[in-house]
Amino acid sequence: MSRTQKIFKDFIARKGLKSTQQRDIILNEFLKSGAHLSTEELYLRIRKKHPSIGYATVYRTLKLFAECGIAEERHFGDGQARYEPCTGEEHHDHLVCRDCGAILEFEDSRIEELQENVAREHNFKILSHRLELYGLCERCSGGSK
Amino acid sequence: MSRTQKIFKDFIARKGLKSTQQRDIILNEFLKSGAHLSTEELYLRIRKKHPSIGYATVYRTLKLFAECGIAEERHFGDGQARYEPCTGEEHHDHLVCRDCGAILEFEDSRIEELQENVAREHNFKILSHRLELYGLCERCSGGSK
DNA sequence: TTTCTTGCAAAAGCTTTGCACACCG
DNA sequence: CGGTGTGCAAAGCTTTTGCAAGAAA
């Protein structure tokens, strides 16, 4: 059992909730699927192997993941929620290609420091942040354009 | 007529669209209302003086504002679009209070530089970006908490 | 008069919820 | 057994769209 799975089990137990087949299946597929899947994409993947699992269950389960901290809900402006696995303390931001939709991740501790500075100047206490750079990825801005 | 109004008139003319009372009213109220209004908030304000203006017209007009560059559409995670006036070249980011909902603006050219660095490293061409820091504002993180 | 706009209501798209039945502990 | 979870369908919300009537050029 992976660390993430353990966190989830603990959360379930602590809250008096129940461990079910569906939750296990959804968690496995979620972890396996790589980041940035929309709820619908995840649902479609799961349905291939487990056609009886309902849309609502996927929604509800992803909310649980977010609540216990193993997933993070994100919106990239297309009106759909996306979830990505949270692995520990590391934080990353995103480059989103306007053309092909590719989502790249990056991390920059200097930017984070400057964010803290800004917050301090405003007596603001940061709980989370989001930084997204929209534009054209290497492939889409290349020769063909 | 303000600079922004002129930009809009020019855009309207260039596109072969028409200047209407409703568009003028909505633009005025939009400029007067300060940043970060949701479409609904703006609609409600407008309806006080002009009860016959419809919801759809406000939506459609704000899209036009965004298209011609005098407004920018933003999403802060509450599921509603918000628009804010774009004044020239300056760019700013946001501090969003999770408690009272206050939205503060800031600008930091050093952060923007670092973003450019990141983009260069990935051969990514930035068209726009969004940076939002979520947390507690001065008032909400103060003594009472 | 021709084309674009508007207001209304209906539709669309994503997400949540109510409910009866099933399952976990 | 008692309470929680599930699947389905229906409802909720925000936003978009179709259409007939109205206004601008």
Domain ranges of chain A: 3-85, 93-135
Token code pair at residue A97: 């290609």
pLDDT, residue B88, reads 60
- Please list, in sequence order, all residues whose beta carbon lies within 8 angstroms of the beta carbon of residue B1, skipping any fewer than 6 positions away: B9
Neighbours of A115 (CB within 10 A): 20
Token code pair at residue B123: 């051969």
pLDDT, residue A142, reads 66
pLDDT, residue A143, reads 45
pLDDT, residue A118, reads 95
Determine if strand D comes within 7 Å of the CB of A42: no
Residue written as token pair 């002129």: B6
Asked which of A37-41, A87-91, B36-40, B115-119 is least confident by mean pLDDT, the reply is: A87-91
For domain B3-85, give the CATH number: 1.10.10.10
Which 85-124 residues of chain B touch chain A by CB within 8 A? 95, 97-98, 104, 106, 108, 110-111, 114-115, 117-119, 121-124
B145: pLDDT confidence band, cut at 50, 70 and 90? very low
Are B135 and A118 within 8 A, CB to CB?
no
Tell me whether residue B22 is exposed, middle or buried, using C-beta atoms within 10 angstroms of its C-beta: 0 to 12, 13 to 18, 19 or more.
middle
pLDDT, residue A51, reads 94
Are A134 and B128 within 8 A, CB to CB?
yes
CA nearest to A112 within chain B:
B111
Are B127 and A136 within 8 A, CB to CB?
yes
B108 has a pLDDT exceeding 80: yes
pLDDT, residue A116, reads 94
**C-beta of residue A65 within 8 angstroms of C-beta of residue A71:** yes
B71 has a pLDDT exceeding 70: yes
Q: What is the mean pLDDT of residues B30-45?
A: 89
- The three-state DSSP-derived secondary structure of chain A is CCHHHHHHHHHHHHCCCCCCHHHHHHHHHHHHCCCCEEHHHHHHHHHHHCCCCCHHHHHHHHHHHHHHCCEEEEECCCCCEEEEECCCCCCCEEEEECCCCCEEEECCHHHHHHHHHHHHHCCCEEEEEEEEEEEECHHHHCCCC
pLDDT, residue B143, reads 45
Q: In whole angstroms, what is the distance from residue A5 CA to residue A14 CA?
A: 14
pTM of the model: 0.74
pLDDT, residue A55, reads 95
User: Percentage of residues in chain B with pLDDT exceeding 70?
Assistant: 94
B142 has a pLDDT exceeding 90: no
Per-residue pLDDT of chain A (145 residues), as tens digits, is 788 899 999 999 999 999 999 999 999 999 988 778 899 999 999 999 999 999 999 999 999 999 998 998 888 878 889 998 886 656 788 998 877 778 888 989 999 999 999 999 999 999 888 898 988 888 887 644 3
The class of domain A93-135 in CATH terms is alpha beta
Q: What is the mean pLDDT of residues B126-144?
A: 80
* pLDDT, tens only, B76-90: 877 889 998 886 656
* Test mutation, B127, B128, B132, chain A, max A CBs within 10 A: B127
Are B134 and A129 within 8 A, CB to CB?
yes
* pLDDT, tens only, A87-109: 665 678 899 887 777 888 898 99
B34 has a pLDDT exceeding 80: no
**C-beta of residue B96 within 8 angstroms of C-beta of residue B59:** no
